Chain A
Amino acid sequence: MTDWERIERSDEFRELVKRRRSFVVPATIFFLVYYMAFIIVAGYAPDFMGESVYQGLTVGYCYALTQFVMVFVLGLWYLRKSDKEFDPLADKVVEAAAEFEAGDVRFVRKDDTEVKA
């Protein structure tokens, strides 16, 4: 039986969750706000969106293009962060769990006392 509670309390797991959240939460807030701002401006200020930047190219079309850029940049950024930072941390959690199950004491509580199997 895997001791899920013990893994959840391990430093490795806390570190993984903390690091991932510190990226995902601000990124999610940012993209939702940026997207909803676009929708709200389109709804409430259609004339502004229809203004010309250069001939038939409008403010609205340019604003829309920045949404594409945002999606691609956030997508690639998260992919990179995951490969370099989150995946290695997740691997550590899995390794530590495997070692613990094999009888090797590796989990250390927050107060630094070792947990005996």
Chain B
Amino acid sequence: MLLFAEVNVEALVMAAIILAITLGITFWASKKASSAVGFYAAGRQITGRQNGLAISGDYLSAASFLGIAGLIFLYGFDGFLYSIGFLVAFLTVMFLLAERMRNAGKYTIADVLSFRLNETPARAAAALGTFAVVTFYLIAQMVGAGVLIEKLVGINFSLAVLLTGAFMLCYVIFGGMVATTWVQIVKAVLLMAGILTMSIFVLGKVGFNPVELFNRANENKGPESTFSLAPGTYLPKPLDTVSLGLALVLGTAGLPHILMRFFTVPNAKAARSSVVWAMFIIGFFYLLTTFIGFGARAFLGEGGVEGAGTGGNLAAPNLAAFLGGGEGTFGGDLFLAFIAGVAFATILAVVAGLVLSASAAFSHDIWSSIVRKGKDSEHEEVLVARIAAFGIGVIAIIIAIIGGSGLNVSFMVGLAFAVAASANFPALVLALSWRRFNTTGAITGVVTGVVSSIFLVIVSPKVWPGADTVTGSPIGWTLNNPGIISIPLGFLGCFLGTILSKERTEERSFNELFVRSETGLGSERALEKVG
């Protein structure tokens, strides 16, 4: 087996520098991550601005950076549709969940869901939602990491996945939320620096006139090109577009690794300001990705399509090489290496956040609350969290390597958003705002959301591609995106489960949850600063 095909030395050096910085952070953080509140919530000492950067680092995956730039390069406007949904979603998070999660919760989304419900089943339901989302998202990111690192750095796919997984586990196991947060902050700064530099280079070539960039991009499509300044090329079915849009705008508010970030700040005010910081950083980022995508079309043209690979993921790195003076030149290789390093850091920060949220769901919800009924020590819970992180990471590495580079990354990410929007989002929102909501409703809602979104994806034409326009789906299903059906089903599951069950007992009152989530009265305190 050829492990090192054509190693890009500059890219390797760049990756090594990033790894050295992140390992330094992990070593520093390891002393602060020994308590439960340190391991899961970074002692709740992260400021609003830091958390805004960390949310951006947690959220902007390689699918956002390379994927959207690639989609715009290949299909034009449709790629930009994703960006809008990913950004507007933060209004959902801000208005409906951020502050209330911070006030009512402790470490995981299950804390909020089970606040006044029957703890064991409610935590199990929340953990199911978390595991479903994290599994799809994590495997997607790991496969994406393997493909990109193989292409950019020149090492073998399996080795690339293994290395990514090993570093991810190192941050989470030794540095917990403290290390994960700072890795995400460093990554957000690097990513913004990278995309800003590229944008300035791109705009410099058209006299800093974006309209000229769009003109050139539009001139540079061949007769058979999929590229268009109008929508409908990548997403030709209108109802599918609407379904996708719905899942994007509601799904972010059900992503456990994003919601978990709100437990790391001292109070609701910081949670609120962190969302607004994240909105500006992420919004600015998505605006710049259009310059990268249209820039790649304007300068690489139709001839660059083949080199951009599946989904156009390599359009941005190829554009970087072009902007630096062309492939093979010192400037070109250096710019390519820089962007490759940024992409590497991007993936690491996202997968670390994902593994941490899943390990917290296992140790805090399943082990400590359900198996040990709260009788375990804090030391034991953190130890279990570390072991769980290791287990989850190893499983993800194995699935990613077995599934190989053939697994469709955007399909898995879409599935993760659909599950988050259909299962976690309805249950959380109703738990916080509907007085009558009960345990049965939470369970039926989460289960309906998970099952319906996964089922509708399995029978979708994406999985059963037919000849031309004829769907190959076994039940004649024509939508690729399940959101428009599965999100209402998730809400309906919560509603029917609640009104059809006779359950009336409550562990704690809705009054307590309501007052606490609105005012912060009785909410978790930040650790006193140590050291």
Contacts and interface: CB of A to CB of B under 8 A. Distances in A.
Task: Note whether A and B form a binding pair.
Answer: yes
A39 B231 CA distance: 10
Given A20-B518, A56-B217, A79-B272, A4 B509 contact: yes
A16 B95 contact: no
A12 B229 CA distance: 53
B238 A43 contact: yes
Contacts of B249: 32, 35-36
Interface in B198-251: 210-218, 228-232, 235, 237-242, 245-246, 249
Interface in A1-55: 2, 4-5, 7-8, 13, 16-17, 20, 24, 27-28, 31-32, 35-36, 38-40, 42-44, 46-47, 49-50, 54-55
B389 interface: no
Contacts of A5: 509, 511
Contacts of B272: 78-79, 82
A66 to B, nearest CB: 10
B212 to A, nearest CB: 8
A96 B518 CA distance: 15
Given A31-B88, A72-B279, A97-B521, A39 B511 contact: no
Given A2-B521, A67-B87, A8 B511 contact: yes
B215 A49 contact: no
Nearest to A34: B88
A7 B81 CA distance: 45
Contacts of B95: 24, 27-28, 78
Contacts, number: 161
Contacts of B376: none
Given A43-B242, A64-B80, A7 B211 contact: no
Contact of B81 (A27, A39, A87): A39
Given A7-B515, A36-B242, A56-B218, A75 B94 contact: yes
Nearest to B219: A56
A98 to B, nearest CB: 9
Given A79-B273, A87-B269, A49 B280 contact: no
Interface string A86-98: 0100100110010
B91 interface: yes
Nearest to B84: A67
Contacts of A72: 279-280, 283
A54 B212 CA distance: 10
Interface residues on A, range: 35 or more
B275 interface: yes
Given A36-B245, A82-B269, A94-B521, A71 B90 contact: yes
A39 B516 CA distance: 36
Nearest to B520: A90
A93 B522 CA distance: 12
A102 interface: no
Contact of B519 (A27, A32, A90): A90
A28 B96 contact: yes
A16 B521 CA distance: 13
Given A49-B77, A75-B94, A68 B283 contact: yes
A76 B521 contact: no
A71 B242 contact: no
B80 A43 contact: no
27 contacts: A5-B509, A16-B518, A16-B519, A20-B518, A27-B91, A27-B95, A28-B91, A31-B91, A38-B84, A39-B84, A42-B81, A43-B237, A46-B230, A56-B215, A56-B218, A56-B229, A58-B77, A58-B229, A60-B231, A61-B80, A61-B214, A68-B283, A72-B279, A79-B272, A82-B272, A90-B519, A93-B515
Interface of A: 2, 4-5, 7-8, 13, 16-17, 20, 24, 27-28, 31-32, 35-36, 38-40, 42-44, 46-47, 49-50, 54-58, 60-61, 64, 67-68, 70-72, 74-76, 78-79, 82-83, 87, 90, 93-94, 97
Name the 9 nearest CB pairs between A and B, nearest first: A50-B230, A56-B214, A43-B238, A39-B245, A46-B232, A43-B241, A56-B215, A4-B511, A4-B512
Given A4-B516, A50-B231, A75-B90, 4 more contacts: A28-B95, A35-B249, A36-B242, A78-B276
